Structure 1
Amino acid sequence: MTQDIMTTEMRDARYVMHPLTDARANLQSGSLIIDRGEGIHVYDLAGNRYIEAMAGLWSVGLGFSETRLIEAATRQMERLPYYHPFTQKGHGPMVDLAERLVTMAPVPMSKAFFTNSGSEANDTVIKMLWYRANALGQTCRKKIISRHRAYHGITVAAGSLTGIPANHTGFDLPLPGFLHLTTPHYRRFAQPGESEEDFATRLATELEELILREGPDTIAAFFGEPVMGAGGVIVPPRTYWEKIQAVLARYEILLVADEVICGFGRTGRMFGCETYDIRPDVMVLSKQLSSSYLPISAILLNGKLFEPIADQTHAIGTFGHGFTGGGHPVAAAVAIETLRIIEERDLVAHAAAIGERMQQRLATLADHPLVDEIRGVGLMAAVELTPSRAADPASWPVGALGRRAALHLQQHGVIARSVGDALTFCPPMIIDGAGIDAIVTALRTALDLCLKEMAP
């Protein structure tokens, strides 16, 4: 290791506090420092190459070296490097992006509101829902329904929507008024002999019973990811969304589709809502919107949400909410170019085709002794592992095998992510068959090494 590499890693451990990281462990061992990226690959400071099989954070859909995005950012920097949307001001890139997103939405939408991240967007939607309830005189309609294992962000409000214990513990979350239902994971939570459709019916009944118990006039909205991403790529059981939407419609409860991970081709359709015939009142977009080259997120809201808010802002004189960087012209210009590239290169169809190959190749691991379940849709998947073949399974607490397998995988040139004992995969949409094959080959090697370590 060169002195420069050592210096950077030491400075990282000394000065940087990392998200979703054991801070003490980072002080002891430091982080993998990524130096550059090209296509589906990233390189560390020593020049080691890795397939980024998580597209960063489910997000770098166009890979790490798309020159058109760099050029779009440069052009906009030279013309207007910054402006804001406050107090009836705006700029061309924001208007162009808003028009494009509203018109491409799979259901009628009225307006786009811009923020900088999925967390900020979901936090903003919560505030909009509360604002709308007050505007309509429904001052009790403030409760929000989400699901266990859901991930909707990490602000105080969005973190309360999230249903992952690690994002709550130590933070005094969730806040009151945030309600969580059963994770729609058929293999994990179905009762003996229960079909997928019966499981979906039971979860819809659970939703209705919660609504009646809390009082329909107290529930503002239901938030859901079409496919639950950070919770472990949980694919909904058959008829789930059909039945959930029927319950929500019965009690006039708004539906918010969190498309932060699923949007822009990840499920093999432009939006996850199209894959599962979801008709939301609100769509939350981010990540692949700009291929994460710059931070940007968007809220698409329909007339049911917008019109009462507009009336209330007129009565008050303002909508007292916004972010300095919301609708940033450079980020908006990059997002517009990202959407052009996705369309011109037909990357949604490519993601569907190459995603089918990924699902088929991962399925060849189903007979591995450490594999419990393989699940996914489009170009996102999870391989759930089990330590049952270990000489002493109790010595492998939940998450230990997933972390060990992810480490072996990284040492063999593939970066994935462990969620408990599941390894999740969400590679850039530009990946080809050779890239998919390389991921699966490395994964088999990693699993074999884990099995060897667990032997008596």
Structure 2
Amino acid sequence: MNNKTCALANVDVDSVLHPYTDARQHQQLGPLMIERGEGIYVYDTDGKEYIEAMSGLWSVALGFSEERLVKAAETQLRTLPFYHIFNHKAHAPSTKLARKLLDLAPVPMSKVFFTNSGSEANDTIVKLIWYRNNALGKPQKKKLISRLNAYHGVTVMSASLTGLPNNHRGFDLPLPQVLHVSCPHYYRYGNPGETQEQYADRLAQELEALILTEGPDTIAAFFGEPLMGAGGVLVPPRTYWQKIQAVCRKYDILLIADEVICGFGRTGAMFGCDTFDIYPDAMLLSKQLSSSYQPIAAVLINEKIYEPIADQSHQIGTLGHGLTATGHPVAAAVSLENIRIIQEDNLVGRAADLGALLMEKLSCFSDHPLVGEVRGQGLISAVELVADKATKARFSMPGKVGSYLAQRAQHHGIITRNIGDAIAFCPPLITTEAEIQKIVDRFQWALSDTERWYCSK
């Protein structure tokens, strides 16, 4: 165990099975113990400062010390710390939040169902889609299409929708109802001489071919993040979403927009659907919904989905789905205050401006021998490292160089995330111009360290 964890006499650092962690390696290295946060910074138990350039997990829009959110939670805890919304019960925070989300939605939505996480939101919409299709007398219309490199969560169904191999290996996933098509990464998968529009045509044709092979009457929905986050910050090629939507409409396939990372300003608009002109039948929201000060997520569904569900619940006598903390009053109150701050401080516009600045500064590394692509939209970006710029060749051991750079970045006081060999940036929406420069400077130091290490091998 490392010195830091040994010094924590009153903390049992071996008691937790950590997500997305090599458990055996963790036994040797121990954790980085984060003690407190202030603005966009977090501090470990030795007092060392880090810029949290990933907003925790793509989620802390307002930083780590927003007093208005703390006060909203405290006020609600003193008023009504918990109540459920089962069996015709309700309370003001969840009701007000639902109304606010319906008002904000980029396309008409009818109802909101609350969950505790994006994974549960994805599971919930699948159950609702199946419930709806049974109500419509279409019991065979149950298959779901997602994409390779997609991230939709880690529960059994949401992990199946996820298109990352390590979310499937060892878990007997994906479930057979889930199909995957190619991810829309033009830099990596576009053919030589192929324009972005032609690449989008090819992906739409691939989707249509899969639908026809499986049978349109068996396909219930297409799931997609407007911009793919955990798969590498993959920005869709021009015309991609227009063409994908056209295929879905042609074959009466519901379009589900997973806005868990993109929502509430991350892409420089309130939602990724606004940014990429997407017209979904359902939207899944979480993360920046509460700036992760409280666990909460939301499923927004349109009338097309809602009406058959309402009829079916009436026939059965209940909608047999719900969670103890569905619409939790404290989480809802914090989310309402979080949205107020985002709107009052124009943080959506700020994300667009700061995102352009971050992209401008990161693009200065485009000529670096280890940098293949700099990409992003709004205040979410990535720098992909490659072994050979001319051929876009990956490193012989994928992820090792990216992991080394992330470690050096942490050494220099910036927490990023390597997704394989792509280094992701997703700083809080409250980040300043000066702090953007700090992020870029510290990344440059880490990149220089990585180049020296790589060239010395």
Map of 2:162 onto structure 1: 162
Q: Does 1:309 align with 2:324?
A: no
Within-5 A mapping of 1:184-223: 184-223=184-223
| CA distance 1:141–1:394, shift in 2 (3 Å) | closer
Map of 2:297 onto structure 1: 297
Map of 1:424 onto structure 2: 424
Cα separation, 2, equivalents of 1:244 and 1:388: 32
Cα separation, 2, equivalents of 1:160 and 1:442: 36
SS of residue in 2 equivalent to 1:84: coil
C-alpha deviations, 1:251-300, integer Å up to 9, x for none? Answer: 11100000000000000000000001000000000000000000000011
SS of residue in 2 equivalent to 1:14: coil
C-alpha deviations, 1:285-318, integer Å up to 9, x for none? Answer: 0000000000000011000101000000000001
Amino acid at match of 1:219: I
Runs (4+) of structure 1 moved beyond 6 Å?
A: 1-4
Cα separation, 1, equivalents of 2:170 and 2:336: 39
Task: Check conservation: 2:2, 2:30, Cα contact below 8 A.
Answer: no
Cα separation, 1, equivalents of 2:4 and 2:373: 43
Amino acid at match of 2:142: K
Cα separation, 2, equivalents of 1:82 and 1:379: 34
Map of 2:115 onto structure 1: 115
Deviation at 1:396?
4.9
Within-5 A mapping of 1:14-163: 14-163=14-163
Task: Check conservation: 1:5, 1:45, Cα contact below 8 A.
Answer: no
SS of residue in 2 equivalent to 1:428: coil
Pick which of 441-450 and 194-203 moved more. Answer: 441-450
Map of 1:443 onto structure 2: 443
Map of 1:342 onto structure 2: 342
How many aligned residue pairs are there?
453
Cα separation, 2, equivalents of 1:387 and 1:195: 24
Q: Does 1:251 align with 2:251?
A: yes
C-alpha deviations, 1:319-354, integer Å up to 9, x for none? Answer: 111111110000000000000000110110111111
Gaps of 5+ in 2: none
Map of 1:354 onto structure 2: 354
Deviation at 1:77?
0.3
Alignment RMSD (CA, Å): 1.6
Cα separation, 2, equivalents of 1:16 and 1:343: 38
Pick which of 411-420 and 11-20 moved more. Answer: 11-20
SS of residue in 1 equivalent to 2:208: helix
Task: Check conservation: 1:5, 1:46, Cα contact below 8 A.
Answer: no
Amino acid at match of 1:83: Y
TM-score calculated relative to the size of structure 2: 0.97
| CA distance 1:213–1:288, shift in 2 (3 Å) | same
Cα separation, 1, equivalents of 2:176 and 2:9: 41
Amino acid at match of 1:23: A
Amino acid at match of 1:128: L
Task: Check conservation: 1:13, 1:27, Cα contact below 8 A.
Answer: no
Task: Check conservation: 1:227, 1:272, Cα contact below 8 A.
Answer: yes
Deviation at 1:244?
0.3
Cα separation, 2, equivalents of 1:396 and 1:416: 23
| CA distance 1:396–1:209, shift in 2 (3 Å) | closer
Cα separation, 1, equivalents of 2:9 and 2:155: 29
Task: Check conservation: 2:5, 2:13, Cα contact below 8 A.
Answer: no
Cα separation, 2, equivalents of 1:285 and 1:149: 19
Deviation at 1:37?
0.1
Deviation at 1:8?
3.2
Amino acid at match of 2:144: I
Cα separation, 1, equivalents of 2:12 and 2:447: 30
Deviation at 1:366?
0.8
Cα separation, 2, equivalents of 1:14 and 1:409: 25
Task: Check conservation: 1:12, 1:30, Cα contact below 8 A.
Answer: no
Amino acid at match of 2:8: T
Amino acid at match of 1:339: I
Amino acid at match of 1:226: P
Cα separation, 2, equivalents of 1:284 and 1:455: 44
TM-score calculated relative to the size of structure 1: 0.97
Amino acid at match of 2:16: V
Amino acid at match of 1:190: G
Map of 2:333 onto structure 1: 333
Amino acid at match of 2:72: A
Cα separation, 2, equivalents of 1:277 and 1:26: 43
C-alpha deviations, 1:221-273, integer Å up to 9, x for none? Answer: 00000000000000000000000000000011100000000000000000000
Cα separation, 1, equivalents of 2:4 and 2:191: 56
Amino acid at match of 2:40: I
Cα separation, 2, equivalents of 1:409 and 1:259: 28
SS of residue in 1 equivalent to 2:384: strand
C-alpha deviations, 1:95-142, integer Å up to 9, x for none? Answer: 000000011101000000000000000000000111011000100000
Deviation at 1:2?
12
Q: Does 1:226 align with 2:226?
A: yes
SS of residue in 2 equivalent to 1:364: helix
Percentage of pairs with the same residue = 59
| CA distance 1:8–1:320, shift in 2 (3 Å) | farther
Task: Check conservation: 2:2, 2:29, Cα contact below 8 A.
Answer: no
| CA distance 1:394–1:150, shift in 2 (3 Å) | closer
| CA distance 1:174–1:395, shift in 2 (3 Å) | closer
Within-5 A mapping of 1:259-278: 259-278=259-278
Deviation at 1:387?
3.3
